[in-house]
Amino acid sequence: MTPMTQVKHVKHVKHVNHFRHQLRRGAVALALAATLPLPLAGAALAATLPLPLAGAALAAPHAAQAAPAVAPAPPAATTLHLPRPTGPYAIGRDTLHLTDPQRRDPWVPSAGARELMASLYYPARPGTGHHRAPYMNTEEAQLFLRGIHRADVLPAETLAATRTHARTDARPAPGRHPLVVLSPGFSLNRATLSLLSEELASHGYVVALLDHAYESFGTAFPGGRTLTCVACDTVEKAPKDVRKRLMAKVATGRAADIRFVLDALTRTDRHGKHGLRGTHPAWRHSAMIDTRRIGVAGHSIGGNSAAAAMAADPRIRAGVNMDGTFFAPVPHGGLDGRPFLMLGALNGHSPHDEDTSWLRDWRRLDGWKRWLTVRDAGHFSFIDIPVLGAQLGVTDPTAPLPGKRSGEITRDYVTAFFDRHLRGLPRPLLDGPSAANPEVLFQNP
């Protein structure tokens, strides 16, 4: 083995060990399930494959795993609910099916054009709207729970019936509002970012929360179709040295999805010119969107996708990565001075942790930036799962940050970031550590 080969081998081993460590951190963090199987074989996807892949997990031998602590089955009358949003606006929600005729699906080319599902949250007039918007449907919940091997722990009907605050067919609030596009973690249904979506909408943002076809355990599409995670199977079957490249493909593919969504919602191109892809926007309330104020955020691979979308599209003014490895790197030249927030778990995304992509890309960011880490957090502390799990009395012992605090920290810091950079509002929360949030550490390597 040559010296250069030895160096590459050592770096690969360190990277694999990091991913194994990250999955161990998150193994129990799926709070609805109490525990998850320990490291995936190869472990190279642990940062972005927070759940066992569809079907058989990439699991290490069961004999090597710690015995899981199984959560008690919830009472039949359990009702899960999202926390009440803190903003002044009521919330409306629409659902869109979007198809990009310019691109074939990257995972199932025979399916034809790339498809997306989008939940559009928006500030609404109080007292308007019909029914509460559903969290997810029962089949999506069943596939999600099967994917994490906990269909016997929580009834799918209970998860699907999680109480939301958004209303269907609500009348939009007057005025023009910033747009934030959200992308979930790999294998996760978009519903797992509902808490953040409702919070942002309550503060006056339009939010496009996306599901990317064939990249979740199960997502309902029109025509009675439910698409499952073909991408998960593809990554699972790939040789270890190919998996990182496939995850970079996920990030750049989602970046293209995000750019298409901007086109569809605003009918502008990347230079802000109108008239792209038809004469009418895809959403009936698109006039609400202020096309000069667009942000993007995501969890896990969705966070990497946010950075990739910013690199490709100058319409996006600000972005957030929540605990995602940068498989697709930030360009050497940065993001043209645009602001970016890195929000992650202290145990896994500190400056000297084994995921070196954060330190590498922190140095490349050339505008306003913050690197925040959260003590006692896990990979899933930035989505709905720990919040809902806490309502079932379930806490992840490897990430003991209470579910309620997980939701509050994510909600407060992400909203403050977009308030500052899309609305020009002073937000001292982002200036440094605060006594009210002792779990949040400001990194500045």
**Is the pLDDT at 60 greater than 50, yes or no?**
no
DSSP structure class, residue 165 = -
- pTM of the predicted protein model: 0.86
Number of H helices, E strands in the chain: 10, 12
Q: How many CB atoms lie within 10 A of CB 393?
A: 12
* Angstrom distance (rounded) from CA 46 to CA 53: 10
Q: How confident is the model at residue 280 (pLDDT cuts 50, 70, 90)?
A: confident
pLDDT of amino acid 188: 97
Nearest to 297 by CA among 342, 364, 362, 236: 342
The CB-side HSE value for 273 (13 A sphere, CA atoms) comes to 4
191-242: pLDDT as tens digits: 999 999 999 999 999 999 999 999 999 999 999 999 999 999 999 999 998 9
Q: Average the pLDDT over 273-301 and give the result.
A: 85
Q: Average the pLDDT over 10-34 and give the result.
A: 40
Let me know: does 380 contact 189? Beta carbons within 8 Å: no
Instruction: Calculate the CA 421 to chain-centre distance.
Output: 20
pLDDT of amino acid 76: 52
Q: 97-111, 274-288, 309-323, 349-363: which range is least confident on average?
A: 274-288
**Is the pLDDT at 148 greater than 50, yes or no?**
yes
pLDDT of amino acid 77: 58
Q: E strands within 105-246?
A: 113-124, 167-168, 177-183, 206-212, 219-221, 225-227
Q: 44-53, 99-108, 240-249, 257-266: which range is least confident on average?
A: 44-53
* Angstrom distance (rounded) from CA 231 to CA 377: 27
Higher per-residue pLDDT: 203 or 12:
203
The DSSP string of 343-365 is EEETTTSSTTSS-THHHHHHHH-
Nearest to 218 by CA among 414, 105, 51: 51
Q: How confident is the model at residue 25 (pLDDT cuts 50, 70, 90)?
A: very low
**Is the pLDDT at 321 greater than 90, yes or no?**
yes
Q: Average the pLDDT over 271-292 and give the result.
A: 76
DSSP structure class, residue 77 = T
* Angstrom distance (rounded) from CA 412 to CA 419: 10
Q: Average the pLDDT over 13-31 and give the result.
A: 40
* Angstrom distance (rounded) from CA 376 to CA 397: 9
